Structure 1
C-alpha cells in the first residue's frame, strides 16, 4: 500500500460514505412512514385519551400533520446537525437514549465478533489441516448445526442448560439489579451476564468463518507457491502460517467487515431474548410504541457504524495484502 495515496483514498471514501448515509436516511424515513400505524393513536392510548382534538394536537406537536416531503426535509436538516429528534415515549432526546444504550450493544457485538472470528478461523484451520479425517467431519457437522439453528432457539437452550439446570450463569439482563457493585466486582458481574448472549450471537457467525477458512485454506494449499515452498524444504508449520493461512485470511477479512455490520442487526433478537439493554432492544420497544424518532435514530447510527466498519475493512485489507492499491 502506497502511504502517499492514503489521504486521497480516505477523502474519496468519506465523500462517498456521506452520500450513502444521506441516501440511507431518506430510505429509512420513507420506509418507517410507510409502515401501518399512527404514532398519535399510540400516544393518545398511553395517555388514556382518544379525543380527536387531543390526537390532532399530538400530530401537530410532533409534526405529523405536515406533508411527507416537508417532514423529510426537516428530518434531513436535523440529522445534518446531529439532532436525532425527541422520543415521545421516553420523554428524552433520541441521541441521549442511543448513547446510553450503545455501550451495551458494542460490548455484546464486540465479544460475539471476537468469538466468531477467532474461534471460526481456529476451527477452520484445524479442519483444513485434518482434511478428510474425523476431526474435519466433526467440525463441519458442528458448523452446519450452528449455522442452521435459529438464534432464539440457541439462546433459550443455553438459558435452560447453563442457567436453569446447572445454575452456572445468569440468564437475563446486563447486571444484577439487586447488588450495588463497583469496580472489578461490577465488571465480573457484567462478564457473567455477557457469556450467554455473546455465545448465542457468536456461534452462528463462528460457523460461517470456520467453513470459509477451511475452504480458502484448502484452495490456497493447492497453489504453486505453496508447492514450491514445500519443495525448498520449508517447515510445514511455517508454510501453514506464513503462506496458506495469511493468504486464506484475505476473504475472511472481507467477509468479517460485512458481517460486523450484520452483527448489530442480529443483536436485536438476542437482546430481546436476554433482556440486554442495548440499542437492539431499544429499537424493538420503539417499534411496538410506534416511536418513529427512536427507530430512525437507531437505523441512522447503525448505518454509520456499518459504513465505518467497511472503510476500516478496506484499510485493513490493504495492510494485510501489499498487492492491494488504495486507488480508485
Structure 2
C-alpha cells in the first residue's frame, strides 16, 4: 500500500484546497489500506511477543527467588516445587508455546506476585495512564504549536530567540530532573499542588470532590510531560513554517493582498502540519511506554509504574502483558496517524 499526493491543478506548490467529503471510492480505498495495515501488524506483534518472552526468560532471577527472599529463604526442594507449580521448570519452547496459546484465547496470563489475572491489573491501571498521557499531549500541543508559530512569525527577533533558547533548555533537561524541579517549586516551596498520587487519601465525598482532587494531582506530572514534548513541537513548527514560508505559493498569496494572519494560518501552518502530525503520532505511542519515569516520580498509579514494580518483582507474565499492550498501542496509533492524513490533506489518495 502506498500513499501519493495528487494536485488537481498540476502545480506541486499549490496551496491546500479546502476539506471535502470523501467519495465512496476513496472510503473503500481507505478501508482496504487499513485492512492491509492490520494484516501487516500481525507479524510485527508476533516478533514483539517472541523477543520479549526470550529476553525476559534470559534475565537473571525469577519470581520464585523473589518470593523465597520475602519469606526469609527456603530449601532447594521447596524452590523446585514452586517453579514446577508456576511452570518454570519446563523448557523455554514449551513455556512459549503455552503462552502463545493463552494469547490466542485473549488471555494475558496470571500474575503470581499479585495473585490476579494480568488483564485485570493492566485494565485497572490503563485509565490512569491514558488520562496522564492525554493531558500531557494536549499541553504539549497547546504550548508547543503557538510557541513555534510565534517564533517563525518573528524570525530572528527577540520572540524567536526566547522561544528557541527556552525550548532547547527544556529539551536538554532530563524528565526526572524537570519533574523534581516542579515538585520542589510548586509542592515544597509554594505548597500549591500535591506532589504524589492520583487522588487525596481522605476528604473525598462525591464525584465532584474526586474530580477536583484528580485535577490537582495531575497538573505536575502532565506539565512534566507536556513541557518536554512541547519544546520539541515548538522547534519543529518553527523550522517547518520557515521552510514553507519560502515557497512560491506563499509569495503568491501575499502578493494577492491577503492578511499576514491568513497567510500564516491558512497556507503556511496548514502545509506544515503533516510532518508535525507524524511526529505527534510517533511520540504519542512512545509516551505510553516511556511513562515509567514520570509515573514513578509522582507515584502515579499507571501502567508505567506497574511495569517498574513488575521488573523488580520478576513478574514476567505481567511484564510481557504490559510490553505487548504498549506495543499494540504504538502500532495502532501510527495507523491512525496515517489515516489522519486524508482529513488534513484531501489530495492524499490511499491506493
User: TM-score, normalised on structure 1?
Assistant: 0.97
Alpha-carbon distance, 1:54 to partner: 1.3
State how far apart, in whole Å, the 1-side matches of 2:273 and 2:167 are.
18
Contact 1:154/1:200 (CA < 8 Å) preserved in 2? Answer: yes
Alpha-carbon distance, 1:181 to partner: 3.0
Alpha-carbon distance, 1:323 to partner: 2.4
Is 2:280 the partner of 1:225?
no
* CA deviations over 1:147-206 (Å, ceiling 9, x no partner): 000111111111111011101001100001122332111111100000000111121111
Higher mean Cα deviation, 73-82 or 89-98? 73-82
Which residue, out of 43, 51, 76, partners 1:27? 51
After TM superposition, what 4+ stretches of structure 1 lie above 6 angstroms from structure 2? none
Contact 1:120/1:206 (CA < 8 Å) preserved in 2? Answer: yes
SS across alignment from 1:210: helix
5+ residue gaps in structure 2? 1-21
Higher mean Cα deviation, 219-228 or 316-325? 316-325
Of Structure 1 and Structure 2, the greater helix share is in: 1
Higher mean Cα deviation, 173-182 or 307-316? 173-182
SS across alignment from 1:226: helix
Higher relative contact order (CA 8 A, sep 6+): 2
State how far apart, in whole Å, the 1-side matches of 2:258 and 2:78 are.
80
Is 2:209 the partner of 1:185?
yes
Higher mean Cα deviation, 212-221 or 312-321? 312-321
Match of 1:135 in 2: 159
After superposition, the CA RMSD in angstroms is: 1.1
Alignment map for 1:60-75 (pairs within 5 Å): 60-75=84-99
Match of 2:268 in 1: 244
Which residue, out of 292, 297, 300, partners 1:273? 297
Alpha-carbon distance, 1:38 to partner: 2.6
Is 2:145 the partner of 1:115?
no
Alignment map for 1:235-314 (pairs within 5 Å): 235-314=259-338
Is 2:224 the partner of 1:200?
yes
* CA deviations over 1:242-277 (Å, ceiling 9, x no partner): 100001111000011100011112210000000000
5+ residue gaps in structure 1? none
Is 2:168 the partner of 1:144?
yes
Alignment map for 1:30-109 (pairs within 5 Å): 30-109=54-133
State how far apart, in whole Å, the 1-side matches of 2:65 and 2:95 are.
19
State how far apart, in whole Å, the 2-side matches of 1:317 and 1:79 are.
33
State how far apart, in whole Å, the 2-side matches of 1:203 and 1:31 are.
33
Is 2:194 the partner of 1:170?
yes
SS across alignment from 1:170: coil
Contact 1:201/1:266 (CA < 8 Å) preserved in 2? Answer: no
* CA deviations over 1:13-56 (Å, ceiling 9, x no partner): 11111221111111111111121223211122223342111111
State how far apart, in whole Å, the 1-side matches of 2:128 and 2:143 are.
22
State how far apart, in whole Å, the 2-side matches of 1:182 and 1:278 are.
23
* CA deviations over 1:271-327 (Å, ceiling 9, x no partner): 000000001000001100001011001101111111111111001122212222222
Higher mean Cα deviation, 44-53 or 205-214? 44-53
* Corresponding pairs, count: 327
SS across alignment from 1:325: strand
